[in-house]
Chains A and B, each alone.
Chain A
């Protein structure tokens, strides 16, 4: 039970940071290169033994909350659902099955810095690229879209590592 409370705290905390800190930072012309999406962490960090059904419902709720605050209903839900569904496939692609234990949370201190960077780098880039693609709804500016996704996923990774050191390091 305490576990599910922990998830709720993470959702509230990350949403707060996303909406009230990241979204309002103004970097002039380069503002579109600082729109990292960090709330997906609450889904990517879930244990491997979590069922896909549970993850999908969780993703739907988180996506809905973000959408309703940003007034883009459907956008974040659809992208987050797709990334959630593909999470286990991506995990299988980048590592052998026995690399991760089934019952640990996938945070920095449980899986090690190299695998952390690799796993989160790939899923975050995937999430950002899909998000910008659905947001723009065209392939016209594909290069700027991909560079935007790359820069923003690096920012997101940096912010998440900072959060790991603040909230997860004592375990």
Chain B
């Protein structure tokens, strides 16, 4: 017994170090393995989000013209879409309240108060939370294309997992050939302007600058939201697949506003997928 105490005394620094390191590593893995880790030790907690909010209040003044431009661009784009739609459908033929035209997607404006773009684990913090009706697994769309998915919500703030994080996965569609692929962001290979698409069949005709958009299959995003443009095509002869590098439509170093996408029919969709 005495020897044991002497041993502990001799190695007390090492033991204390191992104890703290064990706590740190269990933090690390609980965070890496689940999206729904505790709200209190993420950046959407009260204290840190308040600090980020102060910072955003100060430097949003310097970006006002940029924010204005982004919103104006999106406004023009939406107006164009809306006008085209009216001509296509003709007002007289659409019965209001028709069940065919149930509003599936709702959009909620949110300001990005912190965004990271140069690490291997990037995160975004937005200033809308559960009191605004935000829940986890909602989409987050920028003014031009997709940004990410909501993973953690506190009362007034929410964390978004952006496309430029290795944990983000989404199925995307190649518009010209209608081939489906899997979007991912690989550490060490992709920087904040690019992402990788796997599992495009080798016979699909893909050209440079072709557009990839969302499929809408997971119920998080509506279909046809732009994701990125092709910049590099490689062939994997063994798997008979193409590996495509795209340039993301959103510039993640320069995002200030976005829209949380809520799908009213998602629970229905999941129910049906479960029964398959």
Contacts and interface: CB of A to CB of B under 8 A. Distances in A.
Interface of A: 20, 23, 26, 29, 31-32, 34-35, 52-53, 56-57, 60, 63, 67-75, 77-78, 81-82, 85, 132, 134-138, 140-141, 144-145
B159 interface: yes
Determine the interface band of chain B, counting residues with CB < 8 A from chain A.
35 or more
Given A29-B193, A68-B48, A23 B28 contact: no
Contact of B192 (A31, A132, A145): A31
Contacts of A138: 187-188
Interface string B4-35: 00000000111011001101111111110000
Residue in A52, A73, A138, A144 with the greatest tally of chain B CB atoms within 10 Å: A73
Contacts of A35: 118-119
Contacts of A20: 55
Contacts of B118: 23, 26, 31-32, 34-35
Contacts of B41: 67-68, 73
A72 B13 contact: no
B154 to A, nearest CB: 12
Nearest to A59: B20
A75 B121 contact: yes
A84 to B, nearest CB: 8
B49 to A, nearest CB: 10
Given A73-B31, A77-B27, A144-B188, A56 B20 contact: yes
B249 to A, nearest CB: 17
25 contacts: A23-B118, A26-B254, A31-B191, A53-B12, A53-B13, A56-B13, A56-B17, A56-B20, A57-B20, A60-B24, A70-B116, A71-B44, A71-B121, A71-B123, A71-B125, A72-B31, A72-B121, A74-B24, A74-B27, A74-B28, A74-B29, A74-B30, A134-B28, A135-B119, A135-B121
Given A73-B27, A136-B187, 15 more contacts: A26-B117, A29-B191, A31-B118, A31-B192, A32-B191, A68-B43, A69-B48, A71-B125, A72-B121, A72-B123, A77-B24, A78-B21, A78-B25, A132-B120, A135-B187
B193 to A, nearest CB: 7
Interface of B: 12-14, 16-17, 20-21, 23-31, 37, 41-45, 48, 51-52, 55, 116-121, 123, 125, 159, 187-189, 191-193, 253-254
A156 to B, nearest CB: 15
Contacts of B117: 26, 31
A23 B119 CA distance: 9
A82 B22 CA distance: 11
Contacts of A71: 42-44, 116, 121, 123, 125, 159
A143 to B, nearest CB: 10
A56 B193 contact: no
Nearest to B117: A31
Given A31-B192, A56-B16, A81-B21, A73 B48 contact: no
Nearest to B115: A24
Given A78-B24, A81-B17, A70 B43 contact: yes
